[in-house]
Amino acid sequence: MMGKNDQIEISMTGAISEIAPDEWNGLACPEGEPPIDPFTTHRFLKALEDSGSVGAGTGWSPHHILARNGDELIAAMPMYAKGHSQGEYVFDHSWAHAFEQAGGRYYPKLQATVPFTPASGRRFLTKPGFEKLGKAALVQGAVQVASENGLSSLHITYCLEAEAEDGAAMGLMHRTGQQFHWLNDGYEDFADFLSRLSSRKRKAIRKERAGAQAFGGEIYALTGDQIEPEHWDAFWQFYQDTGARKWGRPYLTREFFDEAQAHLRRDILLILCKLEGRWVAGALNFIGRDALFGRYWGCVQDHPFLHFEVCYYQAIEYAIANGLARVEAGAQGEHKLARGYLPVATHSLHWIADEGFRRAVAQFLEEERNAVDEDIEILTSYGPFKRGGSESE
């Protein structure tokens, strides 16, 4: 394929291990360590593959796209051939149903994303100085792969807003969604954060924290070498319980947590609760350069408000103490609004091969974007922060 004054070669690999870690990370996190987010790093994607969380039998077949200028890798994209729409969090089930009702075959499709991870981040991984050329090569290459293989569609999900704008300018369809993030307004501590809330919300959070912390045990925040294999044995039980209830079966295998212990400990904040010598609940977070990413929660005992304490309030305390700009608490959940998390837009890009279906989806996306914008504006107005002036306790 020809780029501007350059011969760009597009290829695909079925295993991230075929690419040298330094070569891949030079694109995924050119800022160095710690990365802006750890999810597109070589070590994270390799942990998914080596643990069997993606690959044969999962419906997630790795087909990472690579763009080279001669011998130089200038761009890459984490890519999967998907046999279903599970574990993506940008829901296209209605698209699949409509397309197949009309006699089409929606699966397999191409999905550029991080499996099971609704966290926005770079999907167009480009070498510094090759951003424009690299993005164009990846889009053209991905569309060409989908078209030549008779695939219904290409989806680039949880990309950055700037990437969505660039992709739309190259002819892809732009979709928006919504999440709730906590934003650090330079708070000195949790009490300072609470002081910015309305009196009613402030009192509600204090009541929840008191109720949670009265569960009778202790809460531990562990990261790096503080995390030991026994902690993963406990967390696996929590994760299995949540995965079975939410998805029918857990997405991640037990081996993934062994890989996490070996290679991802410094990217992880594990918050665990112990009662009478037994681990009873916990939450798994990933640490980025400027953000904490909440991913999984589970428990083997139910205690009032413990979920809110472990997933939301402990995350806020960690972010304040470590100077992080935000906490991303995962997909959905308007209940997060009352706990200081505000709505923000998320972005994805889509290409559909069938022209008629593409027109219908484009019209739907325009209406959906307007609805999302309106929803964010309304929800923000109902946020927990003071409206101005002072309030008594």
Identify the CATH number of the domain in which residue 316 sits: 3.40.630.30
Q: Do both 220 and 243 map to the same domain?
A: yes
Whole-structure pTM value = 0.95
168: in domain: yes
Do 334 and 315 touch, CB atoms closer than 8 A?
Answer: no
Q: Do both 29 and 44 map to the same domain?
A: yes
Q: Which residues of the chain have pLDDT under 70?
A: 1-6, 243-248, 388-393
**Quick one: which of 98, 107, 91, 114 has its CA closest to 45?**
114
Neighbouring C-beta atoms of residue 14, cutoff 10 Å = 13
Do 275 and 301 touch, CB atoms closer than 8 A?
Answer: yes
pLDDT of 386: 87
**Quick one: which of 310, 86, 298, 311 has its CA closest to 180?**
311
Q: Which helix (H) or strand (E) holds 258?
A: helix 254-259
389: in domain: no
Do 127 and 99 touch, CB atoms closer than 8 A?
Answer: no
Query: Exposed e or buried b for every residue in 79-109, given b needs 16+ CB within 10 A?
Result: bbbbeebbbbbbebeebbebbeeeeeebbbb
Q: Do both 191 and 173 map to the same domain?
A: no
Q: Do both 217 and 141 map to the same domain?
A: no
Largest distance between two CA atoms of the chain: 68
Dist. CA 19–CA 17, nearest whole Å: 5
Instruction: Give me the domain span that covers residue 308.
Output: 185-324
Dist. CA 239–CA 351, nearest whole Å: 34
171: in domain: yes
Q: Do both 80 and 131 map to the same domain?
A: yes
Spell out where the chain has E strands. 2-3, 6-13, 60-62, 64-69, 72-77, 79-82, 109-112, 125-126, 153-159, 173-183, 218-223, 268-275, 278-287, 291-299, 326-331, 342-352
Q: Do both 114 and 11 map to the same domain?
A: yes
pLDDT of 7: 82
Q: Do both 138 and 199 map to the same domain?
A: no
Q: Do both 172 and 261 map to the same domain?
A: no
pLDDT of 244: 63
387: in domain: no
Q: Do both 215 and 244 map to the same domain?
A: yes
Domain count, the chain: 2
pLDDT of 248: 61
Do 177 and 118 touch, CB atoms closer than 8 A?
Answer: no
CA torsion through residues 274, 222, 288, 212, sign: positive
Q: Do both 131 and 146 map to the same domain?
A: yes
pLDDT of 326: 98
Q: Do both 35 and 167 map to the same domain?
A: yes
257: in domain: yes
337: in domain: no
pLDDT of 249: 76
In the structure encoding, which two tokens stand for residue 98, read together?
């409509």
Dist. CA 45–CA 28, nearest whole Å: 11
Q: Do both 116 and 217 map to the same domain?
A: no
Report, in angstroms and rounded to the nearest whole number, the Rg of the chain calculated over CA atoms.
Answer: 22
Residue 255 has φ and ψ, to the nearest 5°, of -65, -25
67: in domain: yes
Listed in sequence order, the residues at least 6 apart from 1 whose beta carbon sits closer than 8 Å to its beta carbon are 8, 9, 10, 137, 140, 141, 144
Dist. CA 128–CA 200, nearest whole Å: 48
Do 320 and 189 touch, CB atoms closer than 8 A?
Answer: yes
pLDDT of 156: 98
pLDDT of 2: 35
pLDDT tens digit string along 196-235? Answer: 999 999 999 999 999 999 999 999 999 999 999 999 999 9
212: in domain: yes
